[in-house]
Structure 1
Amino acid sequence: MHVPAHDSETDVAALVRDAWTEVLETEDFADDAHFFSIGGNSIAAIRVMGAISKVVGQRVPVRLLFENQTVPALTAAVASWLDANK
């Protein structure tokens, strides 16, 4: 799934959720769950952002996940970052 900077936030949300699901090896979490409360850790955060970066073709900063620990918050942060870094 390639998500260029101009795609919708819905596509970015799917990308974020897919990355969390892949790295955390579970789909069993609510979108408003905090990443670190559902099994995430610093290594998992690096892997999530690496997966997102690979798909979008740009290095998206890991700090975005540390600052935005839910799917909706990270989606908004990634979408904003992609928009600003076209």
Structure 2
Amino acid sequence: MTDEALRSAVRTIWQEVLGADVDDDTDFFDTGGTSFAALRIIATLDDRHRMSTPVKVLFDNPGSPTSSRFWTRSRSSAGRADDNRA
């Protein structure tokens, strides 16, 4: 998955779960994000894109779902998941 595709996927999932428009300035908690919503976002991301992302990634990076810190850490987690599935 390209970086842009991952950013788009994360943004889409945030919008679906939070029921709100999401842009580069969106903060997860300021948009009504809860721990349950965080679990749903991570589970959906992992399920749709064969990733294994710790929920800590979201809690450590509650800012924009398109921020480089969030998607870089998600991608790192995805690489570890792919290594474990081989």
| Pair in the same fold by TM > 0.5 | yes
Larger RCO (CA under 8 A, 6+ residues apart)? 1
Unpaired segments of 5 or more residues in structure 1? 1-6
Match of 1:76 in 2: 72
Match of 1:22 in 2: 16
Match of 1:40 in 2: 33
Match of 1:3 in 2: none
Moved over 3 A (4+): none
Is the 8 Å Cα contact of residues 68 and 77 (structure 1) preserved in structure 2? Answer: no
Quote the sequence identity (%): 28
CA shift for structure 1 position 85 = 3.5
Measured on the aligned residues, the alpha-carbon RMSD in Å equals 1.5
TM-score, with length taken from structure 1: 0.80
Q: Which amino acid aligns with 1:56?
A: H
Of the three residues 6, 13, 19, the one matched with 1:12 is: 6
Name the stretch that deviates more: 63-72 or 43-52. Answer: 63-72
Whole-Å separation in 1 of the counterparts to 2:76 and 2:52 = 14
CA shift for structure 1 position 64 = 0.8
Q: How many residues align?
A: 79
